[in-house]
Amino acid sequence: MFGARKHQYHSARVAEPEVGRLEAELGVALPAEYRDFLLRVGSGAGPYYGVWGPAEARSELRGLAQEYEAEEGKIVRPAVAFPLTSEDLQGIESRFAAGVEAVWVERDWPCDGCLPICEQGCTFHSVLALTGEFAGRVFDLNNAVGYCGEWLPARRPPGWWEFGRPHPRELPRLPSPPTFGEWFAGWTERCRTDLAPDAEPNAAAT
């Protein structure tokens, strides 16, 4: 499965004080599903290269925010409303339905009201909205150039099948955008489907 060599399906539960320290630094409570997941299941295993815990997420956001403030003169405020709105989502869905290639919405990264929770590889991350209309929901982010972020509602994370190829076992799209629980469950469903006895192997899986 994609990313399994890194996390080996091992998770370590996060202690309540560590979660509390992250919330204190952010200035906002973590969405209930993500918070409960860290306490009951923990960080480590998960989509892509694994779900980050407080230390990894805090370090990533802090480093990005410091660079952004130094170069752009703007402060990232996790407790302020996440900038994407239902109007942005409608535009994405309309472009998707029309077959437009560039369906994403552009917003700076890093930005207010959210927390990176997972590395997808290259310049891609999974980001959890903390505030605003989409609080508790997950977005896919590509940040290939400068502070330009290309945002999409998170799609179902991969198992062993390569992106861009028709999957022999298609599954429904996740809600747009999915909650953390829907996103994680979408990954486990994808993996279980790909690991079915009659699923064909993929030598290119990483």
Q: Are 64 and 76 in contact (CB under 8 A)?
A: yes
pLDDT attached to residue 74: 95
- What's the confidence (pLDDT) of residue 195? 85
Note the pLDDT tens digit of each residue in 174-203. 999 999 999 999 999 999 998 877 665 543
Q: Is the pLDDT score of 53 beyond 70?
A: yes
pLDDT at site 206: 40
Q: Given strand 114-121, what is the order of strands in its sheet?
A: 105-108, 148-153, 138-145, 124-129, 114-121
Q: What is the homologous superfamily of the domain 4-194 according to CATH?
A: SMI1/KNR4-like (3.40.1580.10)
Lowest mean pLDDT among 67-76, 150-159, 193-202: 193-202
How large a percentage of the chain has pLDDT more than 70?
Answer: 93
Q: Measure the CA–CA gap between 109 and 183, rounded to whole angstroms.
A: 21
CA within 13 Å, CB half, 131? 16
CA distances from residue 105 to 51, 86, 128 in whole angstroms, order as listed: 24, 12, 16
Mean pLDDT, residues 128-150: 96
Secondary structure (DSSP) of 94-155: HHHHTT-S---EEEESS-TTEEEEEEEETTEEEEEE-SSTTTTBEEEEEEEETTEEEEEEPP
Q: What is the spatial distance between Cα 204 and Cα 85, in angstroms, rounded to a whole number?
A: 37
pLDDT at 40 exceeding the cut of 50: yes
pLDDT of residue 205: 43
Task: Give the pLDDT band of residue 204 (cuts 50, 70, 90).
Answer: very low
Where exactly are the structural domains of the chain?
4-194
pLDDT in the model for residue 203: 38
Check whether 162 has a pLDDT greater than 80.
no
* Residue entry with tokens 């509602």: 153
